[in-house]
Amino acid sequence: MISRLVRCVTRERGPGADRSRRAARVRVTAVAGAISVLSACGGSDGPDSPPATTSALTAVGPQCPAGDPAGHGAVEGPGPRGPVPRAPFLVDPNSQPAQVARQNPAAGTAAATIATRPLAYPVGDWLGDSVQAQVAARAAEAERTGSTAVFMVYAIPHRDVSAGFSAGGLPDAGSYRAFTRKVAAGIGHRNAVIVLEPDSLAQLDHLGHAEQEERYQLLNDAVDVYGGLSGTSVYLDGANCGWTDAPVIADRLERAGVQRARGFAVNVSNYYHTQDEVARADVISGLTGGSHFVVDTSRNGRGPASGDLKDAWCNPPGRGLGITPTTDTGNPRADAFLWIKVPGASDGECGRNNPSAGTWWPAQADELVRNATS
C-alpha cells in the first residue's frame, strides 16, 4: 500500500555533530559580509511569510546564517546547470492524499484539501519493478496538463542511516545505478524536477569511509543521468537549519556534483521557516559558485516546534501547511518553493508510538490544514 511505503524523513542532527569536520572545512566567503550569530535557529511559532526582497535577513543560528535575499553579493561561478523549473507543478490525481480522500470521503476532508496542491511524488525501492511505469505515468500526466512533475528520489543504499525510521534503500551500488536509469527512462524528454536523496549528504558522518565514497559516486552518477535529460532540473541534498552548517554541506555538495546540477534542496521534511532556510541557502549558493536551490515549504507554516519536545523534527504538534508551491520566490537563486514531503504522512514512530514513516495520519493532516498559513 502506498500509504505505508511513501517514506521521506530528514533529521535535525544532535549537538556537537560535524564539529571536527567543520573546523577543518570552514572556508572564507564573500557572501553578504561577515556572518553574525544572533539567536536560535527557527524563530517564533508565528505564521510564515515569503522572504523579503529588499534587505538582508537577520542571522538566526550557526547552521542558518544571514543571507542576501536581494541577490546582491553572489559569488561568481559556473552557476546552475539544467532548465529553470516551470510552473505550474503537477497536481497528481493519484497522490497519497488523493487516494485517501477517494477511499474515505467522509473522513478525508484534510486529505482532499492537501490533494489539490502540487506534491512531489516519492520514488524509492518500495516501487519495485513498477518504478519506471509509475514515474512515466506522472511525467505523462504533467505533459498532458502543461505542468511540471516533481519527484523525490529516496532509494540510496544505507538510507536514513542515522535515525532509522525510514531505513532501507537499494541493496548495493549496481542496483541503485540501474534504478537511476529506470527513473530517467520514465521521465524522458518531459519537464520534471528531481529532488535527489534527502538525508544523503547530511548523514555522511554515520557512514564508513568506503560507504561515503560509494555514496559520492552514486550521487555523481545520478546527477549526470538525470542532468542529461533535456527538461529535468536536479537538486541535491542541502539539509536544513538545524543540521549541517553551510561550509560543510557546500563541500559535500561539490563532491557530489552540484556544479553539474541545478542546485540543492533545503528543509526537506522539516519545519524551519522559509526565510531562515533561504538565508542559509544563500550562503551555500555563494560557496558553491552560485548554484540555485528549492525550499520544502510543505509543513513549515508555523516554523519548528519549540520547548522541550524530544526529537522535535519528528511529527511535532501544532504545525501548519506553508507557502503553496510556486516559482515566485522573491529571490533570484531560489528557483521554487515546493511541497516535497507529503503533508499528512507520518515522519515515523518518533519514540511516541506515532504511525510508521510514510503512513497517512488523519489527525496530523487535519492539524496541518487547520493551521495553514497560505
Given 48, 125, 335, 347, the catalytic residue? 347
Q: Is 233 left (phi over 0), alpha (psi -120 to 50) or beta?
A: beta
Instruction: Please tell me the distance from the alpha carbon of residue 196 to that of residue 152, in angstroms, as a whole number.
Output: 6
Cell of residue 292, nine digits: 540555485
Known catalytic membership, residue 237: no
Cα–chain-centroid distance for residue 348? Answer: 17
- Closest by alpha carbon to 2, among 132, 101, 100, 92? 100
- CA angle 271/274/277 to nearest 5° reads 85
CB 342 within 8 A of CB 359: no
Instruction: Please tell me the distance from the alpha carbon of residue 270 to that of residue 362, in angstroms, as a whole number.
Output: 19
The DSSP annotation for 82-148 comes to SPPP-SSBP--TTSHHHHHHHH-TTT-HHHHHHHTS--PEEESGGGGGGHHHHHHHHHHHHHHHT-B
Given 160, 237, 276, 335, the catalytic residue? 160
Q: Is 144 left (phi over 0), alpha (psi -120 to 50) or beta?
A: alpha
Instruction: Please tell me the distance from the alpha carbon of residue 200 to that of residue 279, in angstroms, as a whole number.
Output: 22
CB 195 within 8 A of CB 120: yes
Cell of residue 294, nine digits: 528549492
Known catalytic membership, residue 199: yes
Given 199, 237, 282, 335, the catalytic residue? 199
Known catalytic membership, residue 282: no
Q: Annotated active-site positions, please?
A: 160, 199, 347
